A and B are shown apart, each in its own frame.
Chain A
Amino acid sequence: AQSVTQLGSHVSVSEGALVLLRCNYSSSVPPYLFWYVQYPNQGLQLLLKYTTGATLVKGINGFEAEFKKSETSFHLTKPSAHMSDAAEYFCAVSYSGAGSYQLTFGKGTKLSVIP
Chain B
Amino acid sequence: DTAVSQTPKYLVTQMGNDKSIKCEQNLGHDTMYWYKQDSKKFLKIMFSYNNKELIINETVPNRFSPKSPDKAHLNLHINSLELGDSAVYFCASSQMRGGFYEQYFGPGTRLTVT
Q: How far is the CA of A42 from the CA of B110 in the complex (A)?
A: 11
> What number of residue pairs across chains A and B have CB atoms under 8 A from each other?
63
Interface residues on A, range: 20 to 34
Q: Contacting A102 at CB < 8 Å: which of B56, B100, B107?
A: B56
Say whether A100 faces chain B, with CB atoms less than 8 Å apart: yes
Taking CB atoms, residues of chain A closer than 8 Å to B98 are 96, 100-101
Q: Mark B51-92, 1 if CB is under 8 A from A, else 0.
A: 000011000000000000000000000000000000000101
In the complex, what's the smallest C-beta–C-beta distance from B83 to chain A, in angstroms? 22
Q: Contacting B99 at CB < 8 Å: which of A43, A94, A105, A108?
A: A94
Known: A42-B108, A45-B105, A102-B48. A107 touches B99 (CB 8 A): no
Q: How far is the CA of A108 from the CA of B92 in the complex (A)?
A: 18
Taking CB atoms, residues of chain B closer than 8 Å to A34 are 102
Known: A42-B107, A43-B106, A108-B42. A51 touches B90 (CB 8 A): no
Q: How far is the CA of A95 from the CA of B100 in the complex (A)?
A: 7
Taking CB atoms, residues of chain A closer than 8 Å to B50 are 101
Judge whether A101 and B90 touch: CB under 8 Å. no
Taking CB atoms, residues of chain B closer than 8 Å to A90 are 43
- B107 to A, closest residue via Cβ: A43
Q: How far is the CA of A38 from the CA of B107 in the complex (A)?
A: 10
The chain B residues found within 8 Å of chain A, CB to CB, are 4, 31, 40-45, 48, 50, 55-56, 90, 92, 94, 97-100, 102-108
Besides the known contacts A101-B98, A102-B48, A103-B99, 14 further A-B residue pairs in the complex with CB atoms under 8 A apart? A43-B107, A44-B105, A46-B102, A46-B103, A46-B104, A90-B43, A96-B99, A101-B31, A101-B55, A101-B56, A102-B99, A103-B103, A105-B42, A105-B43
